[in-house]
A and B are shown apart, each in its own frame.
Chain A
């Protein structure tokens, strides 16, 4: 091969190698950028979070504020309609139970996010049935306790029964 051809091949290989690196980096850039846009959109579309009277915990997403949905809730008389945290870091927090299923855990995709090392990322689930709320533990590491006893099978939750997950204790009220 002539000197010139050799030089072109050598330089060409390095250029293509760097093109590979740069396209990888541009994918990362696009990834970071689109994610920022996405999270902004999500933020804007979220209903304003429940205000917690004690602390400024922001991680409780996907819930509409109490006054806004009170009308829907009062139509269902028998079933408890609010979840009140009575102990733990979120003490005083009230959540309006306006959907069929409330997932509880540490991961941000839960409806009720508990920031607690003793809570699993997908810890438990509250499901609305015709007879009221059913609490199911999702194989959590540290368990879910109802009135002091660890639950295995799904348990119906009546008003004023105390549920403990990690350091958080809450109950359902009418």
Chain B
């Protein structure tokens, strides 16, 4: 009987924990917004109310959907997603507040709020409609086709919309969207499904040379195809980050499926070789590499597409130091693109090393949860899907945060859930919804019957 009462039926303790952490997140978000307003414009304005309440309502809706449709899902994924997303909004809104009155675009924060609501509600819809992730097994090749179509869309003449040399977005009327972000999810489903069926052949066959098992040449076919495809993205769309993301994702899943280091080694060698050739042939890749190796040299600093942005961000991070200048206390707005690619440098300046570590540990926990979900699933497809969804977040973090912090050459990618950009938010929230779905359908130990 109790089951019929909807919201009030018996739900696992997990949902109440999630609610508790969400309330914590709501409070922290209110704290951030008021601190930012007091520090930059010295008064509390009522527009903070709009910026606070919309994401809070959307997250509450998502929580209720979880109670109704996935009551056994992981309790910490949604609060982490909410916290990262809203800290991003706070920072973007804060950058808007200090823009001069002549600045054409002072509503990036408000747009981000609207996109957040759209993204969370879409993710809730995905969770509501997809009752089992195993449904995707039927659409492996369709999802590959969908992914390719989404990748090619920005290259088409009428709707394509090149920005700063890269062909990434599609413009339909006033709304511009990056379909490549959604292609990530389609490719994860394809890779997981494809590797589930080819796992045995790729893992077992081959002879041993120096203790490493080398597969027969024809089994290398797919890895060559993906390599060519990612180089194609690099050349045609002029986007190093996306190309690295897809290839890295494929290598990770190939390694997880087969357990063979050989593929990782070959893959890395192939990618580095491809990127080296590209850096010779295409100036924008070469610029990135020299800006990474020697950002402080005058030639790189003065060059167009050189290291100016990177150096400004380094100064910002140094200004922040260990504990930061406090939200609203720094000058992150002098770094170009501080609200999208360089949001981590804005955070680092205002929250310091201590704050960056807090964010990185949240990302780490999120990825670790995905790996744990993968480990607990019994079938290969679910395992690979969960690893893929987790690693796409990890790789994005590595590529973009590593780029800003000069671990790897800087490439344009969005910091998951934080950076300004609607399509990236939608894609990452759908990834979160799928992870929650995967954690809800775990086989439960010791249970008998339905």
Residues of A within 8 A of B (CB): 1, 6, 9-11, 13-14, 16-18, 20-21, 23-25, 27-28, 38-39, 41-42, 45, 62, 106-109, 117, 120-121
Contact = CB atoms under 8 A, between A and B. Distances in A.
A6 B354 CA distance: 17
Contacts of B41: none
B32 A13 contact: yes
Nearest to A118: B200
Interface residues of B, number: 41
A25 B362 CA distance: 9
Contacts of A17: 28, 351, 355, 358
A117 B354 contact: no
A120 B379 CA distance: 8
Contacts of B369: 28
B416 interface: no
B286 interface: no
Interface string B242-264: 00000000000000000000000
Q: Is the interface of A mostly helix, strand, loop or mixed?
A: helix
A17 B223 CA distance: 42
A123 B380 CA distance: 14
B351 A14 contact: yes
Q: Is the interface of B mostly helix, strand, loop or mixed?
A: helix
In this complex, which of A11, A17, A28, A120 has the most chain B Cβ atoms within 10 angstroms of its Cβ? Answer: A17
Contact of B24 (A9, A14, A23, A42): A23
Contacts of B447: 109
A146 to B, nearest CB: 24
B326 A13 contact: yes
Interface of B: 17, 21, 24-25, 28, 31-32, 35, 38, 75-76, 79-80, 83, 199-200, 323-327, 329, 351-352, 354-355, 358, 361-362, 365, 368-369, 378-380, 443-448
A109 B444 contact: yes
Given A24-B80, A108-B445, A117 B199 contact: yes
A120 B381 CA distance: 11
Contact of A13 (B24, B35, B75, B83): B35
Contact of B327 (A13, A21, A108): A13
Given A14-B351, A20-B358, A24-B79, 12 more contacts: A1-B38, A14-B324, A14-B358, A16-B31, A20-B28, A24-B80, A25-B361, A38-B446, A39-B445, A107-B379, A109-B447, A117-B199
Contacts of B378: 106-108, 121
A42 B446 contact: yes
